Amino acid sequence: MKTLQFAVLTALLVTSCKQKPKAEEKKAEPKETVNYLEEPKEAFDERMAWWRDARFGMFIHWGAYAVPAGRYEGKEVNGIGEWIMHNVKIPIDIYEGYAKEFNPTAFNAEEWVTRMKNAGMKYMVITSKHHDGFCLWDSGVTDYDIIDFSPYDKDILKALSDACKAQGVKFGLYHSIMDWHHPDAQADTYAGGEPSENNEERFADYLESYLKPQLKELVGNYDPAILWFDGEWEKEFTHEQGQELYQYVRELKPGIIINNRVDKGRKGMQGMNKDDSDYAGDFGTPEQEILDGISDLDWESCMTMNDTWGYKTDDRNWKSSAELVRNLVDAAAKGGNYLLNIGPDASGNIPEASMKRLEDIGEWMKVNGEAVYGTESPKSGYKEGDNIRFTRKKGTPFYYAVTFEKPGKTFQVEKLKPEEGSEVVLLGYEQPLEWNYSEESGLTISVPEEALRATGNTLAWTFKIKMVTD
């Protein structure tokens, strides 16, 4: 999050010899240790470039919590589905029963990645381990994983990372620092027990002997482009440990991108860091909200399609496809990314309602995606009124005005002043549109009915304006 002088700590191995040996002794190579917490802006920008241009990703919350699916002892449990273990204080041995039942025989990694790609999403972030501690890969440091503990015994993360590579989209992992299952993490207190007096010491040991070895497995086996930490708010976890964790993961894979929940900087659900001190992490993480303005720091809003991250049988409060497109465009206009969640069920099926929304968004992105990908927030302003957002294609004279209200016979904006000769089109309709500009009423574009018919969509309409001068 900060650009500071790059401190290259170079430890030169000094070789000394009493007399020149007959054969020239091979000089030891100087070993450089890079301090990733202090990275020059150019290196940071280069590493973040693909992620900034991608703008749109798929979040996947999937694990043992999909088995109870929001119900316990015959009753619906309030709250987000993946918190059921905590919310009704399910004893660990009972909850482990869900992991033993987790057998997603309908899971098809290639199909999931195809649906994600067809929706216009450029990267995936899936829960390798959520707060419940159950691991979706074959971990060498625990048997509480999909291979050793469940009847499924296939490596879900391997299947997805291979499918992402095969289809040319980026693979990312969510990993929870908080762990309600591990005895040295929060196992004592998740169900309301009293913390033991040496909790900090035990937690530090959990970090060193469990969390870090798991991260090494994950980075080594699945080559994620993103590590999305969560559960950083636990009091045993310190800022120093967060900085150290960031450095550790970057040393595992220098080009990886890591969110700000690797450290203690996040200001609640608003997601950006509470101040500009030396918190680690490459981007802010507003949750269930879009940042309320632009920021000179990178950020990504993560949101659900209904009200839960993990699958819940009874949660049918689905956002409309129009609202999801609006969120995506709003985030892009403000210079942010949008990470939209799906919560597959225990059989490995994506809910019908989620698939319908992914298809709708994909149809819209096929025609309008250029107004999202590789864009930036225009210096002339990102919005006009409640229903118009602007983006600019980086390094080009192309501006996009996206309206969430179906245009009438004319569409008017004040903020864009095309030079004479500028071309205006409605994405999805071939012919350039008539327009005029006046100081008093701004840019007025004529919108023939056939143009609206040609776009065939009802989610949002995009006007592309080529500004002859910047």
Cα 379 to Cα 386: distance, rounded to the nearest angstrom: 18
- Find the binding residues for ligand FHN in span 277-296 (CB under 6 A): 287
Which strand (E) or helix (H) includes residue 226? strand 226-230
Query: Encoding tokens for residue 246?
Result: 């960031």
Which strand (E) or helix (H) includes residue 8? strand 8-11
Residue choice 149, 246, 283, 309 for contact with ligand FHN (CB under 6 A): 309
Buried-exposed string 430-468: b where 16+ CB fall within 10 A, e elsewhere: eeebebebeeeeebebebeeebbebbebebbbbbbbbbe
Which SS3 state, helix, strand or coil, does residue 321 take? helix
Residue choice 135, 302, 371, 452 for contact with ligand FHN (CB under 6 A): 302
CB of 353 to ligand FHN, least distance (A): 19
| Contact assessment for residue 207 and residue 241, using Cβ atoms and an 8 Å cutoff | yes
CB of 199 to ligand FHN, least distance (A): 20
Cα 218 to Cα 138: distance, rounded to the nearest angstrom: 10
Query: Encoding tokens for residue 356?
Result: 């319908």
**Closer Cβ to ligand FHN, 282 or 384, answer by number:** 282
**Closer Cβ to ligand FHN, 83 or 206, answer by number:** 83
CB of 447 to ligand FHN, least distance (A): 39
**Closer Cβ to ligand FHN, 130 or 389, answer by number:** 130
Q: Is 60 in the site for ligand FHN (CB under 6 A)?
A: no
Dihedral-angle region of residue 381 (phi above 0 means left; psi in -120 to 50 means alpha; beta otherwise): left
Neighbour tally for 106: CB within 10 Å:
13
From 335, 390, 412, 329, select the one nearest 364 (Cα to Cα): 329
Binding mask 202-221 for ligand FHN (x = CB under 6 A): --------------------
Query: Around 72, how many Cα atoms within 13 Å sit in the side-chain half-sphere?
Result: 20
| Contact assessment for residue 418 and residue 442, using Cβ atoms and an 8 Å cutoff | no
**Closer Cβ to ligand FHN, 283 or 382, answer by number:** 283
- Find the binding residues for ligand FHN in span 371-390 (CB under 6 A): none
Cα 155 to Cα 140: distance, rounded to the nearest angstrom: 13
**What's the one-letter identity of residue 322?**
A
**Closer Cβ to ligand FHN, 301 or 455, answer by number:** 301
From 72, 78, 110, select the one nearest 91 (Cα to Cα): 72
**Closer Cβ to ligand FHN, 226 or 452, answer by number:** 226
Query: Encoding tokens for residue 83?
Result: 């918190």
CB of 357 to ligand FHN, least distance (A): 18
**What's the one-letter identity of residue 438?**
S
Please give the biggest Cα pair distance in the chain.
91
Give the torsion through C-alpha atoms of 305, 306, 307, 313, to 10 deg.
-130
**Closer Cβ to ligand FHN, 117 or 131, answer by number:** 131
Residue identified by tokens 């701004």 is: 442
Query: Encoding tokens for residue 204?
Result: 């530090």
CB of 275 to ligand FHN, least distance (A): 20
CB of 65 to ligand FHN, least distance (A): 9
CB of 230 to ligand FHN, least distance (A): 5
Residues in the chain: 470
**Closer Cβ to ligand FHN, 21 or 192, answer by number:** 192
**Closer Cβ to ligand FHN, 230 or 282, answer by number:** 230
**Closer Cβ to ligand FHN, 302 or 342, answer by number:** 302
Residue 145 phi, psi (nearest 5): -145, 170
**Closer Cβ to ligand FHN, 309 or 463, answer by number:** 309
Binding mask 83-112 for ligand FHN (x = CB under 6 A): x-----------------------------
Query: Encoding tokens for residue 423?
Result: 């071309």
Binding residues with ligand FHN: total (CB under 6 A): 7
CB of 268 to ligand FHN, least distance (A): 9
CB of 155 to ligand FHN, least distance (A): 22
Cα 401 to Cα 389: distance, rounded to the nearest angstrom: 6
Q: Is 230 in the site for ligand FHN (CB under 6 A)?
A: yes
- Find the binding residues for ligand FHN in span 64-83 (CB under 6 A): 80, 82-83
**Closer Cβ to ligand FHN, 118 or 270, answer by number:** 270
CB of 404 to ligand FHN, least distance (A): 25
CB of 172 to ligand FHN, least distance (A): 13
CB of 419 to ligand FHN, least distance (A): 44
| Residue numbers at the binding site for ligand FHN (CB under 6 A) | 80, 82-83, 230, 287, 302, 309
